[in-house]
Amino acid sequence: MKQENKMEIKPQAMAIPKETDKLEKGKYGPIYPKTPACYGFSILAKIIPGREPVFYEYAKKIETAVAATPNYLAALKLHYLRWVLFPIKGETYFMYQGIFDTDFDKYTEDAVALFMGAGLNTVFENLEGFPKDWKTNPEAFVKFVREHQQPSFLEYGEYPFVTADEIKKALRIKSALSEMLDQLQ
């Protein structure tokens, strides 16, 4: 880790050039580097007209599922997920953005397996072009995700390259230290 063994935490930004010819080529196209904001994806797609209410119902469902099982999404090694609906010329689009610690290029199939297992797929069924046979055709699901992933052109990290595991450990240490100091009173 770039910041390891240093008390100073120095914010960093990274510009990602439009030209991809210098990037290594992977199975799904150019492989984007890890940035100060870790790895991530931004999946953008048009929703099937009239389906907005399904997205809001889905939001409640996920809220309930995570409350009941807090580790529901742990295997994705996430920092944040954001789901956004937004209009372009009177039509509704969907953005699904995730920040996490593993390389999405390597973990696309894991993500799809987890979406399928955790019921996260259901909302994708309301997107235009989503393969109807996704349950028996994981390759088509992967392809859809890859085709709708848009790379960032700039990313910023206030605490660059730090993993969610490290943040959680630091918070636990702080809490333990605080408890220890209380006991010394």
Partner 1 sequence: MSTTVPGLELDDIQSGVLRPRPAPYAATYIALRIDDLKAGQQLMQNVAKVVTSAANPSSPTADTWVSVALTYQGLKALGVPAKSLESFSWEFRQGMAARAKDLGDVGESSPENWEKPLGSPEFHVILVAVSPDAQSLEAALARARKTYEGMTGVVAIWRQDCHALPNEKEPFGFKDGISHPAIEGSGIPGTNPKERPLKAGEFVLGYTDEMGGVQKTEPEFLGRNGTYIVFRKLHQRVADFRKYLKANATSEMDEELLAAKMMGRWRSGAPLALCPLHDNPELGVDSKRNNDFLFQQDDAAGFKTPGGSHIRRMNPRDAEIAGVARIHRMIRRGTAYGPLLPEGVLDDDGADRGLIFAFVGAHLGRQFEFVQSQWINDGIFFGGNNDKDPLVGATQPGESFSVPRRPVRRRLQGMPRFVVTRGGEYGFMPGIRALRWLAGLEA
Nearer to partner 1 among residue 84 and residue 175 (C-beta): 175
Q: Is residue 83 within 8 Å of residue 96, measured between CB atoms?
A: yes
Q: Which residues bind partner 1 (CB under 8 A)?
A: 1, 4, 24, 27, 71, 74-77, 101-103, 106-107, 109-114, 116-117, 135-139, 163, 165-166
Q: Is residue 44 within 8 Å of residue 150, measured between CB atoms?
A: yes
Structure tokens at 162: 């730090």
Nearer to partner 1 among residue 84 and residue 177 (C-beta): 177
How many C-beta atoms surround the C-beta of residue 145 within 10 A? 22
Shortest distance (Å) from residue 97 CB to partner 1: 18
- Burial class, 171, CB count within 10 angstroms (exposed 0-12 / middle 13-18 / buried 19+): exposed
Shortest distance (Å) from residue 168 CB to partner 1: 9
State the chain's maximal CA–CA distance in angstroms.
Answer: 63
Nearer to partner 1 among residue 52 and residue 110 (C-beta): 110
Shortest distance (Å) from residue 103 CB to partner 1: 8
Shortest distance (Å) from residue 135 CB to partner 1: 6
Distance (Å, whole) CA 158 – CA 11: 4
Nearer to partner 1 among residue 136 and residue 183 (C-beta): 136
